[in-house]
Structures are given as structure tokens and as C-alpha cells.
Amino acid sequence: MKNRFLKNCILLGVVAAALAAIAFSFRGIEKHPLINEVCGNNFSVIMAENEKYMDYIELYNPTSHDVSMEEYYLSDDENQPKKFSLAGIVVPAHGYALVWADKDLLPEAGLANFGISKRGEKICLSDANGKIIDAVNMPALSYNVSYGRTENGGGHFAPMTPTPKESNLTAEILGVRQVKSPVFSVESGFYEEDFEVTIVAEPGLEVYYTLDGSDPTPESEKYRGPIPVSDVSSKPNVYAEEKVYVTYTPPEEPVDKATVLRAVAYDPLTRGFSTPTMATYFVDYAAKEIYDNLYVLSVTTDPSNLFDFEKGIYTMGRAYEEYKILGGFVGLPDEEIPSDFTDENGVVHYRYESTNAGGIGRKWEREVQAVLFDERHEIVFEKTLGMRIAGESTRSAEQKSFNLFARDIYDSGDGFMIPDLAGYRLKKIRLRRLADEIGFLEPFLHSLLKERVPSTQNSLPCVVFLDGEYWGIYNLKEAYDEPYFEGHYSVPEENLWVMKNMHAETGPEEEVMSAYSDFLYLVRNLDLRDAALYEMLGEYGDLKNLMEYSFAHVYLNHMDISLTHNQSAWRSAEARDGSFEDTCWRYLFYDLDFSCVDPAENTLQIYREQEENMYLPDYLSVNETFREEYATTIEDMMNTTFAYERVHALLMEWKEKYKDQVIATYHRFGNEAYDEEDYDKAIQKVDDFFRERPAYVKEFMD
């Protein structure tokens, strides 16, 4: 009896437990959409219809029928649960809907007028009565990371790779970075002898490291003792072997190299990990004189960010495969693939544009760790930055240009100081490849024009190492961005308008272009013989600036310019007390690479024969005051700025500074035959241009 009673009790218990489980499962079947994924730091995950990257909240509908959200609300404040109405949104059965969130938005369907804090906060979904029916406590997360359910409409929330409008089951669950980074016993630098690096982390943590630039993870080499560091230049090339364009020929010999050490600390209990610690070590470089008195920049990033087929920004990748598919060239060797073709719709496709390196915008920015050394090879800065490929047609070149960005998503975002380059904190720097025969023509011309009214960019010769391998000499330049104008002219970002190639670079497109078009219209259509109208025009544009800008381009034989190409101008948005806050348009010297080609060429006539005469002095010269001032400006510039003795002396200084590195860079990118004689010929050609140019300019300016 006792055993039977016990068996019956067990049976009843099992049945009760089963019924309870069934009841629980029915209670778990939601009858309304749920918060499925939240991203509070959407740098480049997905772009909204207004072409902005905004925070987003994804709703998922677990039911088998479409659900109108007419009587539902979202909020970032549980005390105000009905902050934003979801009226106008329908979430399809077993489907998704995105709600964009930005405190500066005017609320409308799908656009919530509140932001999501990067430091984390609670997001609530409530019903018509203000009752919270779903909520998520989002922690502080890195950029481009979402906080989502491990199962659509179920499971637990976790940091993951974003999957907006897609199943969370495809997401990668990410560890939370909450561990203190390890510390190296030796900092980045140039060292004469071999040494060892000890890595120290907090007790209980494991340390993993890499020596190839890749992101360290628990699958990387585990740190077990001091790491030996020596000169690794003789080791086989790795990244220099990557085929970065159809015409690329890898160097025949090993290139100079540095040891790049990256490490993370990992907590095996919480699975939390640190941000990577990085150092770059140059060993036994004292004998390598070609690096003497030059800035050196080491840029380190996971190699996939550069060379991966899908996301690599430096390679041909998927974009090149799509070019081959579209043109019907699949299976052909690269040397037989045409440089362009016309499709069935009459559209011309160019091979040089069809590589991953042609990608623009935030989606093609990659996180890098960088350390910059000055001419004495002392550290200027060590920063985590964003990097993009820069330029236009040069994106197909073997040696590509870069832009580097300081942002708060990578570190403090406060920028960096490079005293030899600028006297203000930079947020962006440009690394321009060798774009001409001598390797430094564009920055050299900026240095010639530095004392003139139009804006110029300071630059420094800088040797670049990419993931520890020699990448040649670059020109490290200021960028024409908001800090530039505040640093040089005390014009703050909120009062700045910049026009570039007939589009607004900074400021509202319609207002900026309307104001610039008005200036051009007045130049071309006012009767400037009238002294009062000429004086009025000076309130719209800095006419001294225009004189120097116009003549410089003529004198330098700049052939890569038109009204819509390689032209940029700026002004303050409104008049204020600052010296340059007068709403006058002022031009910038910009992209002068294709200059100084033919000293006899009548550049002025070429400008006049363009579809719209871009040589604005032609319109202004009806005014006697302008004619006299312009003649004086021309004479002054020819006797000072472009005086041959001055130009020659400066050119010889730059020649010696760049010579060894320019030759080495040609060798690095496949031109092994290039030698000092070739370099001297290129320099002589530029020198001859400035020696012969004055006579021709005087002739066609008369």
C-alpha cells in the first residue's frame, strides 16, 4: 500500500508538472510584438531613409497575423511610458519593423523623438493604458553592436552583431568588454638591440596575443612568458604579397618590417575581455638611414579589414568579381580583362572603379590602432582611430591614400596634436600617396603658396607601416575639416559653410549652394564698372583671395580643375564678431597634383574655353580698381611667391628630404628599375617648369 501510494503521488506530481509546463508554455506565447533588438550606437550598421545612421529599436511579431501598433508606445523613460506613439506602424506576422530613434527628430511614424544613450538605458514598450508589456535594460556597448534576443521573440538578451530586419539566429553573440587591458613592459619605439616583452594582467585573467596584426581572441596564442622581439625585416612578406590591383607586382625582396604586438585580457568565468593593447617595435633601424629625420606611422588592424573578399577596404574583392560577372569576363586571366566595357543599357563600367577600395562612407571605415613617431622617432601619439581609403581615381593605385579619423566611438574622440603640422587638435588627417613623379609636388606647391590669402594645407613626409610591413612614403596632411577652420580662422563648426565641387561639404545643402550660386551670379552679371556695385560684391566674396587663387592656378598650369571639380570655397554662415565671420566666400587651394606639366601651355585660354568660363577675373576686369589691384597682385606673386631663385632653393631642400624614400617606394610597389637618375630627371622637369614659366605667363596674361 505504501509503495502504491508513493507511486500514485509521483505519478500525480509528474502530471501536475506536465500540466504546469503546458500552462507556462501557453503563457509564454505572446499575443503582441516584442522588443527584439536595440542599437544605441549605430555608426555604420544600417542607414535610415534620410541617409543618416541613427539609433534603432527592432520590433518582432511572434504571432501568425499582422499587428497594427496603433495603440502601442515606446519610451526611454518608464515614468513616461507613452512618450512615442507607434501609430502608423504595422509589424507583419513573424516579421520585423524598425523604429529609428533620435532626440532631434520630429516624431512621425517610425521616427521616435528620443535617443538611446551609449552608456545604456531602459527601453519600454507599453499598451494603450500605459502598461509596460515589454522592456529591455540595455548596457553600455561598443559601436555597431546591438543588444538583442538570442531567439526571435524569446531567449535572453545579449550583445551581438546587429541583424536589423533579419533573424537574430544569424547573429554572433559577443562577449562584453569589461576587463582591464593588459600592460606591456616595453612601449612602442625604435630599439637598437633585441629585447623581451613581459605582459601583465590582473590576477585570474588569461592573456592572448598576436604578432601579425590580427585581433587577439581566446583562440590566439596564449601568453605564458616573455616574448622575444628582434628585427623581423628578413622574414617573408605577407601583406605586401596581397594582390591589391590587377596591375600590381609584389616586391621581389623582403620589405622592412616591425614587430606588431597586440594582446587582450580574458576572464574565463564571465567571458569578458578587454580592449586590445598594441605596441609597434622597430629593432636595429639605426643603420637604415632612409628613415632618419622622417615621421613614421604604424597602422595596425585585423588583416581582414584590409584584404577580406567581402569587407576588405584595400583589395579588389567582391566589387571586382561583380565587374567580371557583369562584363562576362569570369574565367579570364586578369591581364585579358578589359579596363572598361559598356553594358546593354549603354552604361560604361570602368575597372579602376570596380574594387572594394572604391567603397565610400561609414560602411567602409575600419578601426585601426596607430602610433606616430616624429623626426626623432619619439612617440607623438598612440590612438585608436577610424581609417578609410581616400581619393578618386587613385583608389585603384597599388599604393592607396588614407584618411584617419578621431572619434568617440574608438576612444575619447578628443583628437590629437601634431605640433609640427598644426597648432590645434586634429580630428582628421590625410595620408596622400605618391601621386606624381617626384612624390611631393602637391604639398610642395602648398608650401610655396602658404603666405598667400587662399587656404593651404600643411604637410609632413611620413613613412607608413601597415600591419608591420613597409608601405612607402606618404604626405601627412591637414584636412579641410571643421577643426581646420576653427584652428586657423576661429570660425566654429556651427557657423561654417564649405562648398566642394558644387555641393555643400559643411552646412545645409540648399542654403550653402544657394549662397555660392548667388556669388557666382553677381560676379558674372553685375555691371561692375559701377564702383558702388563693385564695392557691394566685396561683401559677398574676398576679392583679394579670388585674385591670388585665380592667378596661382594659371601660373601653376593646373589642368585638373573646373567649376565642378577640385574647387572648394568657404564662408561663415552668418556675420559675427570674428575677423573671418563676415559671410565672404574664400577659396581653398585644393588637389594640385596635375600641375607644372608644360611651361609653354596657355592655361588661361584653356580655362576660358571650358563650357562655363571658370576664370572669374574676366568678369571682374571691367572694373578699373580690380584691374589695377590684380596687376599689382600678379607682379607681386611672380617676384616673390614664384621667383625662380626661391622655388629652386626650396625644391632642392625637398628633393634631399624625399629622395631615398621615393626610390624605395617605387621599388616597394613593383618598379624595381626606378633609380636615382629617374628621380633626378623628374625633379629637373619641375625645376625647368618654374625657370621657363615666367616668360610664357607674361605673354598670355598681357
> How many whole angstroms separate alpha carbon 429 and alpha carbon 567?
20
> How many whole angstroms separate alpha carbon 20 and alpha carbon 423?
71
> One-letter amino acid identity for 29?
I
> How many whole angstroms separate alpha carbon 693 and alpha carbon 597?
10
| pLDDT at residue 105 in the model | 72
Q: Which three cell numbers stand for residue 405?
A: 579619423
| pLDDT at residue 30 in the model | 63
| pLDDT at residue 460 in the model | 97
DSSP 325-365: HHHT-TTS-GGGS-SEEE-TTS-EEEGGG-SGGG--SGGG-
Give the single-character DSSP code of 252: S
In the chain (702 residues long), the average pLDDT of successive 10-residue segments reads 38 36 40 93 92 93 94 93 92 95 78 87 94 93 94 92 95 83 98 98 97 96 98 97 92 96 94 93 96 98 97 96 95 92 94 93 96 98 97 90 95 92 96 91 96 96 98 97 97 97 96 97 96 97 98 96 92 97 97 94 93 90 97 97 98 97 95 94 98 96 82
Angle at 679 between CA 690 and CA 396, to 5 degrees: 95
Long-range contacts of 652-655 (CB under 8 A, 24+ apart): 654/440, 654/444, 655/438, 655/683
**386 close to 378: Cβ distance less than 8 angstroms:** no
Q: Which residue has the cell 588661361?
A: 604
pLDDT per position as a tens digit, 98-118: 999 988 777 777 788 888 988
| pLDDT at residue 27 in the model | 37
Residue 14: phi and psi, rounded to 5, are: -65, -45
**580 close to 534: Cβ distance less than 8 angstroms:** no
Give the single-character DSSP code of 96: E
> How many whole angstroms separate alpha carbon 138 and alpha carbon 148?
9
**397 close to 433: Cβ distance less than 8 angstroms:** yes
Angle at 193 between CA 189 and CA 198, to 5 degrees: 65
> How many whole angstroms separate alpha carbon 489 and alpha carbon 486?
5
CB-based burial, 367-389: b 16+ in 10 Å, e otherwise: bbbbbbbbeebeebbbbbbbbbb
pLDDT per position as a tens digit, 340-364: 999 999 999 999 899 999 999 999 9
Question: How many Cα neighbours within 13 Å face the side chain of 581?
Answer: 13
> One-letter amino acid identity for 31?
K
> How many whole angstroms separate alpha carbon 400 and alpha carbon 388?
10
> One-letter amino acid identity for 207?
V
Angle at 353 between CA 349 and CA 354, to 5 degrees: 75
CB atoms within 10 A of CB 186: 15
> How many whole angstroms separate alpha carbon 686 and alpha carbon 439?
12
Q: List the beta bridge partners of residue 58.
A: 37, 98
> How many whole angstroms separate alpha carbon 8 and alpha carbon 378?
82
> How many whole angstroms separate alpha carbon 660 and alpha carbon 664?
6
**549 close to 589: Cβ distance less than 8 angstroms:** yes
Q: Which H helix or E strand runs over 684?
A: helix 676-701
Give the C-alpha distances (Å, rounded to integers) separating 44 from 175, 407, 506, 604.
20, 13, 20, 44
Residues 6+ apart with CB under 8 A from 32: 63, 67, 72, 127, 133
> How many whole angstroms separate alpha carbon 188 and alpha carbon 279?
5
**DSSP3 helix / strand / coil % (the chain, rounded to 5):** 30, 25, 45
- By the 10 Å C-beta count (0-12 exposed, 13-18 middle, 19+ buried), 151 is classed as middle
> How many whole angstroms separate alpha carbon 384 and alpha carbon 415?
10
| pLDDT at residue 11 in the model | 37
Give the C-alpha distances (Å, rounded to integers) separating 607 from 382, 529, 545, 565, 592.
45, 23, 18, 13, 15
**589 close to 446: Cβ distance less than 8 angstroms:** yes
